[in-house]
Amino acid sequence: MEFLDQLKNLKEQLKFESSFGSVRPFSNIIISGMGGSGIAGSIFSELYDRSPVTVVSDYNLPAYAGPDTLFIGISYSGNTEETLTATREAVRKGCQIRLITSGGELSELGEKTVIIPSGLQPRSALGYLLVPFLRSFMNFNESDYEETCRILSGLDAEHREARELAETIGREGSIPVIFGHYPYRWVAYRWKTQFNENSKILAFSNFFPELNHNDTVPLKSTYRKDAFRFISFGDASDRIEKRIEITSRITGTDFVRVHVNGKTLLQKLFYLIHYGDYVSYHLAKYRNIDPEEVSVISSLKDELMH
């Protein structure tokens, strides 16, 4: 599938009717996943607050992992070294195991595995990777999913502002710095990773209010400040909105504010994710590079296998 069609596929992925099925009671959730797969777990961890959720983006599990843990391993390819290692450890420690993958070795490690369609870039499969979490643990209703699909279709058809932001960044040759806030902290990170892999540029993210205790200092007095393009999101609480306004004023920093469309959390979340998909896609186009190509990651994985 062409990369642009992969982006447009997101709304179809929301119709994916899969969940983890019945789970026995657990006291904590540990999610293991890297890159474009792991982000699904991170976004979920920001939304879900009925038990502690730890996202492991590394090889090893925390010592408390055990029979009371619901372990969810996510790897689109099913062959990611860190996720396989963490999953094998979870099996050894007697965790309750659920997996999401399109195949690979991971699909052989658990009995209850959500198999998702293959043939996409992992980062273009975010709908497939996230929906099992949402359908299993969050109570969004069907009309909410339908409206979210409608909103995503609207963005697919018309995303002029996203393209203009991409062209501004491309013209300036600037480094995007995305400042999110709850419940979009991990959406800010997703934007960063989409800039990394689709646009092939460095990008950084942080979130309010935490960044008021560190990044705010260089916002006032860093060298080469014009090398960065600062982006923040709308739909902030009054306190966060006030922080954004004060931060901008006292540090003399302009933020591109990205308005968040939609009425519900589900709609806003996917709108903002998809908006970032388009900014990163158009920046790749502006730079005349292939947004899909990430062969350096594959080369690194290959070398690690020998």
* Residues with catalytic function: 197, 213, 301
Stretch that binds ligand F6R, among 73-81, 232-240, 252-260, 264-272 (CB under 6 A): 73-81
Smallest separation (angstroms) from ligand F6R to the CB of 193: 7
Smallest separation (angstroms) from ligand F6R to the CB of 139: 27
Chosen residue from 32, 80, 87, 206 binding ligand F6R by CB under 6 A: 80
294 binds ligand F6R (CB under 6 A): yes
Chosen residue from 46, 89, 156, 197 binding ligand F6R by CB under 6 A: 197
Smallest separation (angstroms) from ligand F6R to the CB of 121: 4
76 binds ligand F6R (CB under 6 A): yes
Q: How far apart are CA 135 and CA 20, in angstroms?
A: 8
User: Pattern of binders to ligand F6R over 93-122, x per CB under 6 A?
Assistant: ----------------------------xx
CB-based contact 151:57 (threshold 8 Å): no
Q: How far apart are CA 168 and CA 229, in angstroms?
A: 9
6 binds ligand F6R (CB under 6 A): no
- Tokens representing 180 are 């999110």
CB-based contact 118:75 (threshold 8 Å): no
Stretch that binds ligand F6R, among 35-43, 86-94, 208-216, 238-246 (CB under 6 A): 35-43
Smallest separation (angstroms) from ligand F6R to the CB of 277: 12
291 binds ligand F6R (CB under 6 A): no
Smallest separation (angstroms) from ligand F6R to the CB of 189: 12
75 binds ligand F6R (CB under 6 A): yes
37 binds ligand F6R (CB under 6 A): yes
